[in-house]
C-alpha cells in the first residue's frame, strides 16, 4: 500500500468516531439515549431527596420511583422565595420523565421531530422542542431542551411564557433559561451540581414613573419590617433588581441529602 494512501486511510480511521458523533440523531433516537443516560444516573435507587440552595434559601424536593418505573417528584415549601417553586418543579418534572423506565415509549418525554445541532453552556448540544400541549395548563408558550451531544444529559431548558401584565398592557413574553451544569455523582445519584437561572422580561413592562412608584413601595415595606432574616434580605434585593432591570439571575446549588430513605415529613404526599 503506498505510504500516502496508508496515511490517508489512517486519517479516515481517526476521524471516523468524530464523524459518527457529529451525525444528528432523530427525535426517537435522541429520546432513547436521553432516557438511557437518565436511567444510569439513578441506577439502583428507589428514592432520593434533593436540597436546592440559592443564596441563604434552601428548598427540599423528593423523587420516588413507582412500581411501574415512573418517578414522582414532590416539592417542599420554598420558604421566603416562593418564586423558586415553579422553576424547581419544571426541572424536576423533566428529570423525572427522562428517568422513567418506560421502554422505548416517549409518552413521558415528548419531543418534536426537528433535532438540531447547536452549542450551549460551552458544550455541543442537540436542540429539540417539547410540544406545549404536553405541558398541561402551565401557560408556557414554548419549551426547548438542549441535550449534551456526548453525555446525553440535559444542559439547558429554554422556556417562554406570557409576561406579567400591568394594567392590561401587552408586552414581549418572558423568557427563562435554566442551565444544568457540573453533573456529578452524589450518594450514588448523578445530578447537576448547580443550576444557573436567567430570565428576561420577568416583570411587567413599566414606565419610569410606574417603576419608581413600585420601588418606593418596596422601600417602605422594607423599612416597616422590624426584623429581617437573611432570606428576606436576599429576596428584597433580588426583587428590587428585577423591578429595576426586568432581569432575573439566580445561581442554585444541588445536593443529594438522602437516598432510599422515607420522604421527609415536611414534604406533601404526592397525588395518586
Q: What is the DSSP string of 217-261?
A: HHHHHHHT-SS--HHHHHHHHHHHHHHHHSEEEEEEEEEEEEES-
Establish if 142 belongs to a structural domain: yes
- pLDDT one-digit tens code per residue, 234-270: 888 888 998 899 888 989 999 999 999 999 887 765 4
Cα angle value 232/237/194 (rounded, 5°): 85
Weakest mean pLDDT among 92-101, 157-166, 223-232 = 92-101
Q: How many structural domains does the chain have?
A: 1
Phi and psi dihedrals of 181, rounded to 5?
A: -120, 165
Three-class SS state of 204: coil
Residue bearing the bigger pLDDT, 133 or 3: 133
Over 60: is that where the pLDDT of 36 sits? yes
Establish if 15 belongs to a structural domain: no
- pLDDT one-digit tens code per residue, 64-78: 988 888 888 887 765
pLDDT grade, residue 135 (50/70/90)?
low
Establish if 41 belongs to a structural domain: yes
Establish if 110 belongs to a structural domain: yes
Distance CA 47, CA 177 (A): 27
Nearest to 179 by CA among 108, 91, 56, 109: 91
The C-alpha cell at 93 is: 418534572
Three-class SS state of 5: helix
Given this model, what pLDDT does residue 103 score?
A: 42
Given this model, what pLDDT does residue 188 score?
A: 93
Distance CA 99, CA 92 (A): 11
Q: CA separation (Å) from 215 to 127, 168, 170, 239? A: 39, 20, 22, 10
pLDDT grade, residue 161 (50/70/90)?
confident
Establish if 11 belongs to a structural domain: no
Establish if 220 belongs to a structural domain: yes
**Which DSSP state fits 134?**
G
pLDDT grade, residue 203 (50/70/90)?
confident
Establish if 153 belongs to a structural domain: yes
Domain that holds residue 98: 24-259
Establish if 177 belongs to a structural domain: yes
Q: Do 156 and 132 meet the contact criterion of CB atoms below 8 Å apart? A: no
Stretch 220-243: mean pLDDT, rounded?
A: 86
Given this model, what pLDDT does residue 2 score?
A: 42
Given this model, what pLDDT does residue 111 score?
A: 60
pLDDT grade, residue 12 (50/70/90)?
very low
Q: CA separation (Å) from 74 to 70, 92, 120, 157, 247? A: 13, 9, 29, 20, 28
Amino acid at each position: 500500500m503506498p505510504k500516502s494512501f496508508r496515511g490517508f486511510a489512517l486519517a479516515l480511521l481517526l476521524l471516523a468516531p468524530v464523524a459518527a458523533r457529529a451525525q444528528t440523531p432523530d427525535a426517537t433516537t435522541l429520546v432513547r439515549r436521553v432516557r438511557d443516560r437518565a436511567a444510569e444516573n439513578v441506577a439502583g435507587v428507589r428514592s432520593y431527596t434533593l436540597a436546592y440552595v440559592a443564596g441563604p434559601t434552601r428548598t427540599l424536593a423528593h423523587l420516588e420511583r413507582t412500581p411501574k418505573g415512573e418517578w414522582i417528584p414532590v416539592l417542599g415549601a420554598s420558604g421566603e422565595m416562593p418564586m423558586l417553586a415553579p422553576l424547581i418543579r419544571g426541572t424536576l418534572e423533566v428529570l423525572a420523565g427522562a428517568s422513567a423506565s418506560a421502554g422505548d415509549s416517549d409518552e413521558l418525554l415528548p419531543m418534536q421531530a426537528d433535532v438540531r445541532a447547536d452549542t450551549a453552556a460551552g458544550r455541543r448540544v442537540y436542540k429539540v422542542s417539547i410540544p406545549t400541549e404536553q405541558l398541561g395548563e402551565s401557560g408556557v408558550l414554548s419549551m426547548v431542551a438542549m441535550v449534551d451531544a456526548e453525555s446525553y444529559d440535559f444542559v439547558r431548558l429554554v422556556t417562554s411564557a406570557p409576561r406579567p401584565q400591568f394594567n392590561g398592557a401587552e408586552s414581549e413574553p418572558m423568557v427563562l433559561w435554566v442551565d444544568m451544569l457540573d453533573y456529578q455523582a452524589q450518594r450514588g445519584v448523578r445530578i447537576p451540581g448547580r443550576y444557573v437561572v436567567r430570565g428576561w422580561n420577568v416583570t411587567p413592562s413599566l414606565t419610569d414613573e410606574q417603576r419608581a412608584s413600585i420601588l418606593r413601595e418596596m422601600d417602605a415595606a422594607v423599612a416597616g419590617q422590624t426584623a429581617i432574616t437573611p432570606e428576606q434580605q436576599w429576596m428584597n434585593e433580588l426583587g428590587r433588581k428585577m423591578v429595576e432591570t426586568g432581569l432575573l439571575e439566580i445561581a442554585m446549588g444541588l445536593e443529594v441529602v438522602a437516598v432510599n430513605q422515607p420522604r421527609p415529613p415536611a414534604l406533601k404526599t404526592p397525588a395518586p
